[in-house]
Amino acid sequence: MHTALLGAGFLLAAMPALSQDAPLRIPSNLVAGQPVSIATAGSGSATFYLSGPSDSLKREVQLGQNLDLTAKDLQAAGRYVAILCSAACSSVGFFVAPATPASLTFLVHPSRAPVGLNDGISGVAFPFDQFHNLVLAPTTVQFQLAAKGSAPNSRSVQTHGGVAWFRTNSGKSAGPLEITASLADLSARRVVQQVASDPCNLRIKGQRTAKGIQVETEPVRDCSGNPVPDGTIVTFTAKNGDDVSFVDAPVKQDVARATLLAKGSVVVSAASGVATGNELRIGGKE
Amino acid sequence: MNSRQRAPQVRMKLSAIFLVFVLSAGLLAQDNSPQVTLNIAKSGPRSVEALTQRAILRDYKFAWANLDSALQSNSAGPLNGLFAGTANEWLQDAVNHQRRSGITSAYLNQRHKVDAVFYAPAGDVIELHDTAEYDFEIHDNSKRIHQEHAIVHYVVLMTPAADRWVIRQLQAVAGF
């Protein structure tokens, strides 16, 4: 405000304006949301204009007196042009810088990630001030990653151009991964659900019954031992010479089950994703 | 030379004048649209695909043309679909305030030298640094009250929408 006017330097009106007879003196180092007093020179009345990123105002003023701009007039960071018109117009451009961070925008991807994925999870944080200006001054954002059963992992990243980011591998165990970005007393939390990766080492067992060949897998797990999600498809194949039949079955409570109607002696196998299981030889019905 | 003989010459002259008019109108129209170059050499951590670069260039250019149109006509219509979030709110406010004050502004002869400086790993946000050069004019009704040739630096955040990239933050800074 007035202290800024007294303490700081001034940007004198030096524009391709029509006249310099009524210059404006704008304090330097202006910050968003802070009121300011602009000194004018001369005498008589004039029209004052302010054009900014989100604002545009017009006001009758008395030259020689200070012009008070409220905090609301200067909420948006960016470039402003102040114009004073009496007999002629003169103008000056000035910048308003963002205020201190008041919120963090934190984007994390993906929301679900398979375990053991290299650089599979990333996060980007943007600090904004209370007026939604992007805070461009370098500041340190702390990212903390915590998963059940493993020690929290944290890293500090300095913002460049108003952005701090990280990229990391997903963990070994399925379950929620809590990721928190914090800056001073601000924090934003996101959760990535780590899920089992593709099935690994399929094992099947089966027997002939009156209805056909009933086959089922042992609990289907990924290579880290995490049970795969329900609904994962396992394809059972029954082969009897040139006669081949397939049945797709979803995993339900870790196990996929199916009934094959093949007759005679058959070789049954199973596959899910890129994983294949053991072969099972089942003799024909007498 | 009788009037019948003169008629083809008159028609030719008229055709030539019409052609010159059409060509110059076309050239003028070209001059008024923003000139934008986008350099992706400094972007990271994700690399900007050629198709993405073209889309960003197209939409950024279109956004500035429409920003100028909105502030010249004091109509928020041209802003629709090209700006979102804070950028949209600020520009809508600027249009409303201008309309209330009887002021219009114009960004003429725009040239934008844009560098992509950050492209998020997931491809969901890109930060651009734009060194923009334009003739900035402010009018109070029909009276021009300000005119300057300005070189202004902008920090821009764009995010992908359904079929285009939209500007979410358009913040002028003293320098990069």
Identify the residue whose tokens are 């780590």. A194
Residue B136 has pLDDT above 70, yes or no: yes
Indicate the domain borders of chain B.
1-32, 34-173
What pLDDT is stored for residue A20 in this prediction? 42
What is the arithmetic mean of pLDDT over A99-106? Answer: 97
- Listed range (A21-25, A81-85, B82-86, B92-96) with the worst mean pLDDT: A21-25
The answer, yes or no, to whether residue B1 has pLDDT greater than 60, is: no
Nearest Cα of chain B lies from the Cα of A207 at a distance, in angstroms, of 48
Q: What is the pLDDT of residues B69-81, one digit of tens each?
A: 999 999 999 999 9
| Mean pLDDT value of segment A124-128 | 98
Q: Is the pLDDT of residue A263 over 70?
A: yes
Contacts of A119 (CB under 8 A, 6+ apart): A167, A168, A169, B121
Q: Tens digit of pLDDT for each residue in A51-68? A: 999 999 999 999 999 999
| pLDDT band at A2; cut points 50, 70, 90 | very low
Smallest CA–CA distance from B103 into chain A, residue: A56
Judged by DSSP in three states, A27 sits in: strand
If one compares B138 and A210, the residue with the highest pLDDT of the two is: B138
Q: How far is CA B88 from CA A131, A132, A270, B77, B171, in A?
A: 14, 12, 55, 11, 12
A223 in reach of chain B (CB within 8 A): no
**Is B172 at the interface with chain A, CB within 8 A?**
yes
Amino acid identity of residue A201, one-letter, is N
Neighbours of A108 (CB within 10 A): 21
Supply the pLDDT for residue B32. Answer: 73
User: Which residues on chain B are in Cβ contact (under 8 Å) with A15?
Assistant: 146, 148
Q: What percent of chain B has pLDDT over 90?
A: 80
Between strands A30-31 and A89-97, the pairing is: parallel
Domains, chain A, with CATH or none: 2-97 (2.60.40.1930), 103-195 (2.60.40.1930), 199-282 (2.60.40)
C-alpha span between B35 and B61 (Å, rounded): 7
Q: Tell me how many residue pairs between chain A and chain B have CB atoms under 8 A apart.
A: 122
Q: Who contacts A174 (Cβ-Cβ below 8 Å, separation ≥6)?
A: A115, A194, A195, A196, A226, A227
The arithmetic mean of pLDDT across residues A95-101, rounded, is 97
Indicate whether A18 pLDDT > 90. no
Question: What pLDDT does residue A17 have?
Answer: 40
Residue A83 is nearest to which of B90, B102, B146, comparing CB atoms?
B146
Regarding an ipTM greater than 0.90, the answer is: no
pLDDT for the residue B8: 62
The stretch B63-72 carries a mean pLDDT of 97
Cα–Cα–Cα angle for A73, A76, A77, rounded to 5 degrees: 120
More confident residue, B34 or A11: B34
Average pLDDT over residues A116-136: 96
Beta-carbon count within 10 A of A32 CB: 22
In tens, the pLDDT along A142-173 reads 999 999 878 899 999 999 999 999 999 999 89
Which among A57, A77, A126 is the nearest to B101, CB-wise?
A57
Predicted local confidence at residue A175, as pLDDT: 93
Q: Which chain A residues are Cβ-neighbours of B140 within 8 angstroms?
A: 47, 49, 58, 85
Q: How far is B145 from chain A (nearest CA, A)?
A: 6
Selected from 3.40.50.280, 3.10.450.240, 3.40.50.620, 3.30.230.10, the CATH number assigned to the domain covering B34-173 reads 3.10.450.240
User: What are the strands, taking DSSP E only, across A52-130?
Assistant: 56-62, 67-69, 78-85, 89-97, 103-109, 112-114, 121-128
- Which tens digit of pLDDT belongs to each residue from B86-120? 999 999 999 999 999 999 999 999 999 999 999 99
List CB contacts (< 8 A) between B97 and chain A: 54-57
Cα angle A162-B69-B76, degrees, rounded to a multiple of 5: 75
**A56 → closest Cβ in B101, B122, B172:** B101
From B85, which residue of chain A is nearest by alpha-carbon distance?
A132
CA of A44: how far to CAs of A24, A37, A89, in Å? Answer: 14, 19, 14
Instruction: Identify which has the larger pLDDT, A257 or A261.
Output: A257
